Structure 1
Amino acid sequence: MVLLVGTGIIAAASAHAQMAPAMMQGNAMTATSAPVAYVNGMPPVMDHNSYVHALLDEFEARYSGNGGEFRYDGEGWFGTDYNKLWLKSEGTLGTNGKFGDGDHEALYDRAISRYFDVQTGVRMDIDNGPTRAWGAVGIEGLALYFFNVEATAYFSDRGVAGRLQGSYDLLLTNRLILQPQVELNFYSQSDPARANGAGLSNIDTGLRLRYEWHRKLAPYIGVTYSGTFGQATGLARARGERDLHDLNFTFGLRTWF
C-alpha cells in the first residue's frame, strides 16, 4: 500500500514537471503577443487617461420672510490626473426675474501635489449688471481632515479681488451627509455699478443635510445665509436693495457624473 501511494505521488510529480515547461511557454507566448512595459517588475500606472467630470453642487430654492430666490453653483472639468480644463459657474435668480451674482470661469488646472491643484485663467461677471473681466490664479484641493478649500485671486484694471471657499462632508450615515459651506468675497476697490465694496464685500454660507438616494442624485434641505458688509452695504442701499442680510430655508438637489 505504501509503495502504491508513493508511486502515485512520484507519477503525479512527474506529470506536473512535464506540464510546467508548456505552461511557461504558453505564458511567454501570451506576453509576446501582448507586450507590457514593466518598470522594476511592476505594471504601469494608468494616470494619463482623459476623463470628464461635472458637479452641480447647488441647485436650490431659498425662502425667507423677505421673499425668495433660486441659486445654482456648478463646475466641470476635462483632462488627465495632471492637466485639466475647468469650467465654473454660479448665479442667482430673484423673484423679480433678474439674474445676479453671475460668475463664470474658465481655468487651466495643474496638479502640484497629491491633494492640491493650482488654477489660472479668466473670470467673467455676466448677469443683469455691467460685465466685468478678471484674470484669475488660485489653488484648490483637500486640506487636513479632508476639508475642501479654494483660494483664488482676481486682477483687472479695477483692482484686485479675492475669494475664499470651504466645505466639509460630515457622514452621519452611509447616505445621510451634513455639509457646512462658506464663501467670502473681497475687493481692493469699490464698484458701485455692481454693489461691490472695498474690503469684505459679501458672504454666502449654509448648512445642508442631503440624502444620497442615489450616489449621483441627492436631494437636500438646509439653512443658508447671505449678507453684505462694509462699503457694499451702503452701495446696495443706494440701489434700493433692502434685503442685505437674509436667513433662508433652503431645499434643492445635488448631482454629478
Structure 2
Amino acid sequence: MIRSIALFALAGLVSFPVVAEETGPPWSMADAYHDADEMAAVRKAMLMHHGAMRQVSVMADRLELQSSDAGDALVWDGNGWYGGDVDKLWLKSEGTYSLETDAVEDAEVQALWSHAISPYFDLQGGIRYDLEPKGRTHAVLGLQGLAPYWFEVDAAAFLSSEGDLTARIETEYEVRLTQRLILQPRVEAEFAAQDIPDLETGSGLTSLDAGLRLRYEFVREFAPYIGVEWQGSFGGTADYLEAAGEETDRTAFVAGVRTWF
C-alpha cells in the first residue's frame, strides 16, 4: 500500500510529454518528439516509396500487318500514361493504314484523365479527336480495368461534336502456355445509338472483331506474335458496305509485335 501511494505521488510531480493531439492523424505522433519539418519530409519520402510516386509507361499493344482478301493494312493500337496509383493522364491512339490505297483509313487520338474507383477499375474522361475520317471531336467517358477471372476490359462512350453517340468495348485475356508463350483472345465491338450517314454507319451493333494472337516474349518488353482475326459488320453498317460493293465480313491473318517500356 505504501509503495502504491508513493508511485501516485511521483506521477503527480512528474510531467510527461503529450504523445499526440486527439485531432491529429496517427502519423503525426512523432512530431511531439522531433522537428515537425523533418518529420514532414520523412512522411513524404515514405509515401513516395509506398504508392504515391509518379511513373510513366508507353505501350504498343498492337503494331501489326493484317492480310485479307480486302488487301493488306498496317494497324496500330498504343497508349501511354503518367501518374500514380489513383490518378493518371492517359494518351491513346489507334488506326489503320491501307497498303492498297496508300492512305490512312481511320485514325484517332484520345487524351483522358483516369481516376481509380476501386482496386481494379479506373473511371476515365476526356476528349477524342478523329484524324480520319472527317476530323470529328468527341467527349469521352469510359471504364478500364481488370474484371473477375483476369479479363482486361476497356469500355467507353463517345459523344461527337455532331451530336452522335457511339460506344466501344474491348476485352482481352491471356492464356500462359509457358512463361514466355502466351495465347491472347481479343474481342472488340462498336455500337452506335443512331444512324450516321456521313460515316456510313447504322444504329445498333456496327462492327465486331474477334481474334487470337500467339506471342513469344523474348523479354517482357518485346514480344512478336502471329494470329488470325475475324472482322464483321452488322445492321445498317453492313447495308452501306453492300451498297458500295464491299464485303461485310472477312478473315485477316496478322503478324506484329507487342512492346512497352
TM-score range, shorter chain: 0.7 to 0.9
Q: Contact 1:63–1:249 at 8 Å: present in 2 too?
A: yes
Shift of 1:37: 4.7
Match of 1:254 among 217, 242, 258: 258
Shift of 1:219: 0.3
Shift of 1:216: 0.4
1:146 aligns with 2:184: no
- CA-atom RMSD, angstroms? 2.1
What pairs up with 1:4-23 in 2 under 5 angstroms? none
1:114 aligns with 2:119: yes
Match of 1:205 among 195, 210, 215: 210
Q: 1:70 — aligned with what?
A: 74
Shift of 1:132: 1.4
Gaps of 5+ in 1: 1-30
1:160 aligns with 2:165: yes
Match of 1:195 among 192, 200, 206: 200
Q: For 1:33-80, what per-residue CA distance to the aligned partner results, in whole angstroms no more than 9, with x for missing partners?
A: x86757xxxx65522211110110111111123322111100110111
Q: Secondary structure in 1 aligned to 2:149? A: helix
Q: 1:52 — aligned with what?
A: 56
Gaps of 5+ in 2: 1-33
Q: 2:174 — aligned with what?
A: 169
Q: Secondary structure in 2 aligned to 1:234? A: helix
Q: Contact 1:106–1:121 at 8 Å: present in 2 too?
A: yes
1:225 aligns with 2:227: no
Q: For 1:110-130, what per-residue CA distance to the aligned partner results, in whole angstroms no more than 9, with x for missing partners?
A: 011111100000111221x21
Q: For 1:7-43, what per-residue CA distance to the aligned partner results, in whole angstroms no more than 9, with x for missing partners?
A: xxxxxxxxxxxxxxxxxxxxxxxx99x86757xxxx6
Q: Secondary structure in 2 aligned to 1:47? A: helix
* Mapped partners of 1:241, 1:148: distance in 2: 36
Q: Contact 2:241–2:247 at 8 Å: present in 1 too?
A: no
Q: Contact 1:158–1:189 at 8 Å: present in 2 too?
A: no
4+ residue runs over 4 A deviation: 34-38
Q: Contact 2:153–2:171 at 8 Å: present in 1 too?
A: yes
Q: 2:10 — aligned with what?
A: none
Q: 1:86 — aligned with what?
A: 90
Q: Secondary structure in 1 aligned to 2:240? A: helix
Shift of 1:102: 1.5
Q: For 1:128-173, what per-residue CA distance to the aligned partner results, in whole angstroms no more than 9, with x for missing partners?
A: x212111111110001111101221111343311111100111000
The 1:103/1:241 distance shift into structure 2, 3 A limit, reads farther
* Mapped partners of 2:55, 2:227: distance in 1: 32
The 1:98/1:243 distance shift into structure 2, 3 A limit, reads farther
| Percent sequence identity over aligned pairs | 40
Shift of 1:241: 5.0
* Mapped partners of 1:254, 1:180: distance in 2: 14
TM-score by length of 1: 0.80
Q: Secondary structure in 2 aligned to 1:233? A: helix
Query: Which deviates more from structure 2 when the two are superposed, residues 148-157 or residues 215-224?
Result: 148-157
